[in-house]
Amino acid sequence: MLSNLRKFVVSHKKIPILHVNNMCCSKMRASLQRLKSHVPLGRNYSSLPGLIGNDIKSLHSVINPPIAKIRNIGIMAHIDAGKTTTTERILYYSGYTRSLGDVDDGDTVTDFMAQERERGITIQSAAVTFDWKGYRVNLIDTPGHVDFTLEVERCLRVLDGAVAVFDASAGVEAQTLTVWRQADKHKIPRICFLNKMDKTGASFKYAVESIREKLKAKPLLLQLPLGEGKAFKGVVDVVNKEKLLWNPNSDDGKDFVRNPLLEMSDPELLKQTTEARNALIEQVADLDDEFADLVLGEFSENFDLLPAEKLQTAIRRVTLAQTAVPVLCGSALKNKGVQPLLDAVTVYLPSPEERNYEFLERISRLLLPFADQHIEIPSLTAGNIALTVGLKHTATGDTIASSKSSALAAARRAETEGGKKHRRNNEAERLLLAGVEIPEPVFFCTIEPPSVAKQPDLDYALKCLQREDPSLKVKLDADSGQTVLCGMGELHIEIIHDRIKREYGLETYLGPLQVAYRETILNAVCATDTLDRTLGDKRHLVTVELEVKPVETASVMPVIEYAGGVSEDLPTASQEAIENGIHSACLQGPLLGSPVQDVAVAVHSLIIHPGTSTTMISACVSRCIQKALKKADKQVLEPLMKLEVTVTRDYLSLVLADLAQRRGTIQEIQTRQENKIITGFVPLAEIMGYSTVLRTLTSGSATFALELSNYEAMNPQDQTVLLGRRSGLTQVL
């Protein structure tokens, strides 16, 4: 079966651990089918002579470059900053494609899912491999829309470096902050690319300032733009004091000249560049002691004498140490500035051996990804990214070892290095790659197959999609027996629905989209319960006395406490049964059947008759908690979203008035060039279908980004309305 394609990273280190990640799973499935029938994508891949033709020999010679010459990088940004367009240029200049793809024409290499091409957005990450000036670059284009945050996260954990792309007219936008934080978490060295320098309103200074202020990063200005907006024609290389000008008559941007800045021809620009270079040298010297010694010793009198290579080496060190980020600029759409960006990737971002991965070596079937094409290869050296097929029991986030003993050995080593204590029977679990953090879904809706006979097919499709995308949750509604989809947003659920149709041939029906509420209690309540049941000749008897009380954890995992007498001599199996009972009871609150958040459960006493099964213990505890929750004063919590709307001045008051009607609270209104940026909070229930409303209100000129902030207590009136609607059975929002 081809349904189990998985992606992994192979390490340069000795430990045979395989890191599995299923990026591109469905894409690769599509590609395999496409490859079989030899239907090209309408793009020319002839720069890979002999490769797609299964010529393993010729391939072998190109797949194993020295590790120091490998760069595994991701491209990340806010939606629409231009990642895909930049990637297209990169592929073109590296010789991977022969023509320039265009997002707006729907013919890019990396956005090859039908939904991506139709909507002009990236949904799944796509991997491509190409060479640039003797370096092997494995590049992953990640989605920018907030609904697909998890996809970005699972890419980041296997990457060595990243290029953060910004819209130079907007600077740091909401989703940039999210991906930046994710990259911080995975300690990914980065380069910033200020794209869209050709756009009206583009401002290098503004964008750099926003990197400094919002991302709290130290930007290293390696370039200065030559003109902005319509006047943008090239860049100045600050490190080398050179001017890079693109030929205005060249329609693909391949033709550009690099000339040293001279006193005679460019006195003003030379002065400006020298100042920028001196500032850069001082900034790097502040961050790197070795460089500071060099600069203060040999070159203190005249920074002009400092060779560019020495400065580059120091910039590389601070980039790898993540104490600063190199900043470059250009316009991917107008084909300017992409080649120097590629140079910077090879010069400043790390090779796999400069990162602390400890992965492994071989697997039976290996594929090298070229977006939606792939080539089977016999083996791969460490440090590369590839795909594998046929893993039936793995899912996103798994780490695979070649053998249990190697995993244990590696775990032991990790333990020694980490210097932490660990339980013996848990050794293998220790050697996991940093897992992906799966965000909680905020929307749900029912999904029905076209007929009852198709239910197994739907279950299968959902199972496969969930393995690829753990942010999609599927559950069964115990009352109605319906399948329920839980997702990250309207777009997320829409795409899943569409994929079930296109990839699994099933026309399904979605129920109305509903908000995933939570519940909590406002006071502490005690309850007792006894379960006495005789099954066959066995008597099961349990009596429990417990207390549920409010605590502030912002989590649906209840805090569990035992009174002194209870925990003594409590067998592990009984303890597990109690905790299972507690957890299952807290999954369905008494108000809406939603998960209960912010509670602690204290077990005061427990009497178990000998021979009572653990299932009965769980059932008794669960029933007792339900009883206590019912008695308590209860509160519905609703998802509160952080909202950022970018709108022109003319429409500001309209948008604000509309937000007020949606129970929105405004945090601040900033001015960014001609635009106003509104940031605030609004309940999710009030913001469904907002994209259409905003488009209508502002004649399509405004954009917005939405992110879950927290769960907030609903006010009593709104709660009464909601409960009233729910008791009338289905709530339609």
Contact flag: residue 192 with ligand GTP (CB under 6 A): no
Contact flag: residue 79 with ligand GTP (CB under 6 A): yes
Of residues 11 and 84, the one with the C-beta less far from ligand GTP: 84
Residues 273-332 that bind ligand GTP (CB under 6 A): 331-332
What's the per-residue H, E or C state across 659-706? HHHCCCEEEEEEEECCEEEEEEEEEHHHCCCHHHHHHHHCCCCCEEEE
Q: How far is the CB of 409 from ligand GTP (least distance, A)?
A: 41
Helix axes 25-37, 490-504, angle to 10 degrees: 30
Is 23 part of any known ligand binding site? no
Considering only residues 103, 521, 596, 685, which one is a binding residue for ligand GTP as defined by CB under 6 A?
103
Of residues 105 and 282, the one with the C-beta less far from ligand GTP: 105
Closest CA to 129 of 55, 183, 59, 195: 59
Residues 411-450 that bind ligand GTP (CB under 6 A): none
Whole-number Å distance between alpha carbons of 520 and 550 = 7
Cα 693 from chain centroid (whole Å): 27
Contact flag: residue 85 with ligand GTP (CB under 6 A): yes
Q: How far is the CB of 125 from ligand GTP (least distance, A)?
A: 10
In the DSSP assignment, the letter for residue 60 is H
Contact flag: residue 333 with ligand GTP (CB under 6 A): yes
Is 83 part of any known ligand binding site? yes
Considering only residues 48, 80, 326, 531, which one is a binding residue for ligand GTP as defined by CB under 6 A?
80
Of residues 235 and 521, the one with the C-beta less far from ligand GTP: 235
Contact flag: residue 195 with ligand GTP (CB under 6 A): yes
Q: What long-range pairs does 56-60 form, CB within 8 A, spacing at least 24?
A: 56/376, 56/377, 56/378, 59/368, 59/375, 59/377, 60/377, 60/378
Q: How far is the CB of 21 from ligand GTP (least distance, A)?
A: 19
Of residues 167 and 468, the one with the C-beta less far from ligand GTP: 167
Is 143 part of any known ligand binding site? yes
- How long is the chain? 733
Is 197 part of any known ligand binding site? yes
> Residues 196-215: x/- map of binding to ligand GTP (CB under 6 A)?
x-xx----------------
Residues 105-164 that bind ligand GTP (CB under 6 A): 120-122, 143-145
Is 78 part of any known ligand binding site? yes
Q: Are the CB atoms for 74 and 140 separated by under 8 Å?
A: yes
Other Cβ atoms less than 10 A from the Cβ of 283: the count is 17
Of residues 198 and 288, the one with the C-beta less far from ligand GTP: 198
Residues 363-402 that bind ligand GTP (CB under 6 A): none
Name the closest residue to ligand GTP (Cβ): 144
Q: Are the CB atoms for 437 and 429 separated by under 8 Å?
A: no
Other Cβ atoms less than 10 A from the Cβ of 35: the count is 17
Other Cβ atoms less than 10 A from the Cβ of 275: the count is 11
Q: How far is the CB of 230 from ligand GTP (least distance, A)?
A: 10
Residue tagged 């299964």 (tokens): 54
Supply 367's token pair.
Answer: 């594929």
Q: How far is the CB of 115 from ligand GTP (least distance, A)?
A: 11
Whole-number Å distance between alpha carbons of 718 and 248 = 60
Of residues 48 and 341, the one with the C-beta less far from ligand GTP: 341
Q: How far is CA 712 from CA 74, 518, 723, in A?
A: 35, 9, 16
Residues annotated in a binding site: 77-84, 141-145, 195-198
Binding site membership for GTP: which residues? Answer: 77-84, 141-145, 195-198
Residues that bind ligand GTP (CB under 6 A): 77, 79-85, 103-104, 120-122, 143-145, 195-196, 198-199, 331-334
